[in-house]
Amino acid sequence: MSAAPMDPIPPSSTLPYREITVAGVVLGVLVGVVMTVSFTYAGLKLGFTVPASMVSAMLGWGVLRGLLKKGSIVENNINQTVAAAINVSSAGVIFTVPVLYLINREDAERSVAFRAAVHRSGLSAEDLLRRSPGLYQHISLHFLWAIAASSLAGAVLGVLFIIPSRKQMIDIERLVFPSGVATAAILKASGSGQKRARFLVYGILTSIVFATIVGLPGVFPSMPWPAFEDLNISHLAHLPAWFAVTLAISGGLTSIGGGYITGRAGLVLLVGAVIGHWIITPLVVTRGWIPPEALADIHRTAALHPGVWEQQLRLGSWAFRNVTRPLGIGMLLGGSIASVILTAPMLFSALRSIRQQRASASTGPAQELSPSLMYGGVAAGFLVLFAAGYLGAPEIGVPRIFVAALVATVWMWLANIIVSITTGKTDNSPLSGMALITILLILTVLGRSTGSVTVAVLMAVAVCVATGQGSDMMQDLKTGHLVGAIPRRQQLAQLAVAWMGPLISLVTLVLLSKKFLFGNDPLTAPQAQAIRAAIDVIAPPLDADAFHQVLAHATKLRYLVGTGAGLVLTLGAGGGLGVVLGLAMYLPMSVTLTYSLGCMLNIATHRRFGRAWVDDVGIPLAAGFLVGEGLSQVVLVGVDLARVALHGGPA
Amino acid sequence: MNLKNLARYVFYVGMAVCMIGGATWPAPQWFTVIVGLAVLGCGIAIKRRADRAAPEASEDGSTAGTFASAVAAMPVLRDGLRALEATAVEQPLTALAQALEELQRKGIDVVAGAQDDFVRLHGFVPYAAVMAPLATGERLLHRAWSAASDGHRPEALASIRAAIPHIASAGEALDRVTGHPGQTTDSPPRA
């Protein structure tokens, strides 16, 4: 093995080995809070967030060991666990809560008072909204309490639901969790040998330079080069726009790094993408499976942007959103149900072993949280979720809200497993897809009405936050496994601070709502807009026209077909195959293709240079790519926030 | 093409057919969906047959990734760990960290790398019975590595000692699977 240490190892110590310390927790909280505020803004603008793990692990070395001169690897691991536990909730909040703002704004726009205000002002409706977003994009205080309660319940339940799966996913199935591996590489850098540390730094620097060049035009539009999102090979090769061959540029090195760390196993994702993007979507467009009403709409909007390419793009986009993606979400669901069935004995065995470990004094300190704490926490979380539903829409009635909270809680457990499996196998988390299924489930149970949509979105907030927390807990536990942390300490650290993230993100969101109009530039909130649009598709309003009723029915049937295929495939083939193939049909081609490129690079370098080269050079470089892009995004968001604070107004 | 790969391709074809059936407007073509499910069923049958078949030799003739490699690696891990514990007090911490990495590479990674073959031959539950204690031991060895890298010898030694019973327990579970007590542990052969 390579490992000549990077620095001389400090002299042996007789003091207890540092793990949970005030310094580690405080540093984690500080980094987590700053990143939550930053990425609530950035996530609304860009549509994605960056996990705090790697950034805080880097800072941890500087502060704990550099400044305080006493940090240990497992102490720094607690620091990154705490930071990520706070920051991860921002994704759940910004993907779902703006949906409520969008619905409220639509209601306000339809009101007589708004029309009168437009008339009085002499402005267009959009200009009036932009001038006073706080007035028409308003959520009352008691309703904010409902959102806060819902997201808090999600944060706690998300951590508690995933704890029993640790043994199965990390110890036995040995899922990869690429970001967890990358974080562990940073934590262990000081002892992993100069060569690995050097290539980790090379990867970080390359990624910072690349991501900064790509991201700068988003902050300063006057930059002399344009903002690159994707490299559209279809366009360059004169292929139809609905035959997507695209590579991600923004976020590209992260995808390549994730794919490289996953290796050959990740290539299954490419198979699903080929079926989804190169078979299903083209068939829908070319075989006339787009309904005439949708075609007419596409032609109408295409008239504003004439050109064959633009029209093909819209046709492809309709097919992806309304056919390929629902089939993929269904497969994710079916594959996950099958995975749960297949691994149920392991889950119960894990719970039993946790109980036994607790009971046995001879095995030393307990490795996992006590089951009674877990059961009590789940019961409390359910009650808070029920209270959130009641606060949000008391007119629905206690029994129906109780049923909705129960359905959401059970689904949250399953969704947590789905997202943890996809994160473990591919590093991708389909959070907004899980939010969408939540809304579908709740509206199926409650039927469509104003109050039921509110309750459904509140439950979706909880599920989205919970799945984020659950997958982050698993990533952190994977990191912890690789550095030898005690799982119970990590679980306690995560639970102790998980409540902070949703509240910080929510307060930030409320402040931003006073200045910016969600859904409009610069805070376009793409996931929230997609969920808002999907609500009308999966549960059309009672006064919806016949076409939208048929579209809703067709979408539900696609979920059903996907679920059936995912169920049979995973029960028969095992290995979570349905989950990964479903995820590939859900993700944009640019992400999947770039990720697969990383997997292929792993295979190629393994064949050319051997396993040692992959371990000593390839993996550290790939981990550096993941870290550098995250660091760069943090800095760019900080600059953007400072620019907005100084000059105000949209970018 | 071996049966395992054939099963995989049949799965992909079945899934694609199912998805095509589900993509039509205004309702799925149920006949196509059912054909797709039937193809998936064929894939399951082929996979089961592949699972029953004898293990196929790797292209380079190595045993890497096979159940046999896991059985061979377990004593290497167990004996190596015992030897390391005996000398750990005097070893420089750098050498201790390197020795722990060797144990990971030659022992734990080899056993874990045999997951597919292990599950194919003996099922998931026996595999889990081996991996659960092995992974706990592995985590403790990682902790020993971290402590050694941090210069904390007492924690490194304590973690190595704590790992020994877990690794032994994994070895005993593997013995139960092979039906040959003593093959992977140093307990005396039974009469």
Per-residue HEC secondary structure of A93-152 comes to: HHHHHHHHHHHHHHHHHHCHHHHHHHHHHCCCHHHHHHHCHHHHCCCCHHHHHHHHHHHH
8 Å CB contact between A331 and B11: no
User: Does residue A363 surpass a pLDDT of 80?
Assistant: no
What does DSSP assign to residue A232? E
Inter-CA distances, A109 with A6, A128, A137, A536, Å = 62, 10, 10, 18
Q: What pLDDT shows up at residue A324?
A: 94
End-to-end C-alpha distance for chain A, whole angstroms: 50
- ipTM of the shown complex: 0.84
Residue A285 has a pLDDT of 94
State how far the Cα of A383 lies from the Cα of A44, in Å rounded to an integer. Answer: 30
According to the model, what pLDDT value does residue A495 have? Answer: 94
Among B105, B140, B146, select the one facing A73 at the smallest CB separation: B146
Query: How many helices (DSSP H) and strands (DSSP E) are in chain B?
Result: 8, 0
Write the pLDDT tens digit of every residue in B110-168: 999 888 888 888 888 899 899 999 999 999 999 999 999 999 999 999 999 999 999 99
Asked if A13 lies within 8 A of B152 by C-beta distance, the reply is yes
In this prediction, residues A95-105 reach a mean pLDDT of: 89
- Name which of A10, A291, A554 is nearest B151 (Cβ-Cβ): A10
Q: Which residues of chain B does A367 touch, with a Cβ-Cβ cutoff of 8 Å?
A: 136
Please state, rounded to an integer, the average pLDDT across all residues of chain A: 85
Say how many residues make up chain B.
191
In the prediction, which pLDDT does A194 show?
67
Distance CA A483, CA A365 (A): 18
Residue of A nearest to B100 (CA): A1
Q: Say if the Cβ atoms of A17 and B43 lie within 8 Å.
A: no
Residue A544 pLDDT greater than 90, yes or no: no
pLDDT at position B46 is 93
* Spatial distance between the Cα atoms of A619 and A286, rounded to a whole number of angstroms: 42
CB contact under 8 A, B24 and A561: no
Q: B190 vs chain A: nearest CA distance in angstroms? A: 28
Yes or no: say if B10 and B46 are a contact pair by the CB < 8 Å rule.
Answer: yes
> What pLDDT shows up at residue B72?
92
Q: How many residue pairs from chains A and B have C-beta atoms closer than 8 A?
A: 187
**CB-based burial of residue A482 (10 Å sphere; 0-12 exposed, 13-18 middle, 19+ buried)?**
buried
Residues in chain B with CB shorter than 8 Å from the CB of A4 are 94
Judged by CB atoms closer than 8 Å, whether chains meet at A276 and B19 is answered as yes
| pLDDT reading at A259 higher than 80 | yes
For B59, the 3-state DSSP assignment is: coil
User: Nearest Cα to A271, choosing from B12, B18, B43?
Assistant: B12
Q: How confident is the model at residue A287 (pLDDT cuts 50, 70, 90)?
A: very high
- How far apart are alpha carbons A464 and A94 in whole angstroms? 10
Instruction: Judge whether residue B80 has pLDDT over 70.
Output: yes
Kindly report, residue by residue over A454-483, the tens digit of the pLDDT.
Answer: 999 999 999 999 999 999 999 999 999 999
Which residues in chain A have Cβ-Cβ distances shorter than 8 Å to B105? 1
Q: Looking at residue B188, what is its pLDDT?
A: 37
Average pLDDT over residues B95-115: 91
Average pLDDT for residues A229-237, to the nearest whole number? 89
Could you tell me the pTM of the whole model? 0.82
A contacts of B14 (beta carbons < 8 Å): 565, 569
Give me the sign of the Cα torsion angle B116, B122, B127, B130.
Answer: negative
Measured CA to CA, the distance from residue A513 to residue A507 in angstroms comes to 10
- HSE, side-chain direction, 13 A CA sphere, residue A568: 23
- Other Cβ atoms closer than 10 A to A17: 20
Helices A398-426, A325-359: axis angle to 10 degrees equals 90
Nearest residue of A to residue B109, measured between CA atoms = A174
Q: Which of A424-438, B33-47, B138-152, B164-178 has the lowest mean pLDDT?
A: A424-438
Cα–Cα dist B104/B109, whole Å: 6
The stretch A28-33 carries a mean pLDDT of 92
| pLDDT value for A311 | 87
How far apart CA A626 and CA A251 sit, in angstroms, is 9
Helix residue ranges per DSSP H, B123-178? 124-149, 153-178
**How large is the average pLDDT for residues A597-604?**
94
Mutation target vs B (from A14, A18, A72, A172; most B CBs, 10 A cutoff)? A172
Cα within 13 Å of Cα(A605), Cβ side: 20
pLDDT of residue B97: 93
Overall average pLDDT of the A321-346 stretch? 84
A188–B105 CB contact, under 8 Å: no
Which residue has tokens 């000059």? Answer: A647
